Amino acid sequence: MTAADLDIPPGPGFVIGVTAATGVHLTQAGEMAQLLITHPGPRRAIETVEDIEDGMRRLATGLRLGPGLVEPPTIGPRLMIRRGLAALDYGHDGYVMAIPSPLHGWLQLVTSGGPCRICLVTAPLALTATQTETDAHIRSSLARGQVLWGTTHARRRWSL
């Protein structure tokens, strides 16, 4: 995959397989909404771990996320909230990524204009991973340069 290929966000066929989890973290500055984006790995015979990691890097590029070992960039308004539904504009011209079942506190924080830290892990993470396994996976992925992140907030309007 070339650098130019990374500039093309993945399509809905890839993004539908991405997993998103919401949470609220208490920092010294106050509450911070969090969005963890992972992928469970290959599920079809034609998919490979490399394909998944490439798709996740393209997703991170579309979101303008930075490396996890440096201060997260501010990536502008990428979240859209309407009637309790949440979506993420990941840079595709025609599609957004649905965020299934966001936590109520997360929705309140984002709807009120609070920041949201997006953390994307390129290495696949099993859907059955426990909290402890997820934490270990994120830490080891961070050490390998497979974590990208950025800070966003909700748009005032739902349209793209």
90-117 tens-digit pLDDT = 999 999 999 988 888 999 999 999 999 9
- pLDDT more than 90, % of the chain: 73
User: What confidence score (pLDDT) does residue 160 get?
Assistant: 44
- 0.85 exceeded by the pTM? yes
Please tell me which residue, 62 or 100, carries the higher pLDDT value: 62
First to last CA, the chain: 28
Cα–Cα distance, 142 to 137 (Å, whole number): 8
Average pLDDT over residues 54-70: 95
Q: How confident is the model at residue 72 (pLDDT cuts 50, 70, 90)?
A: very high
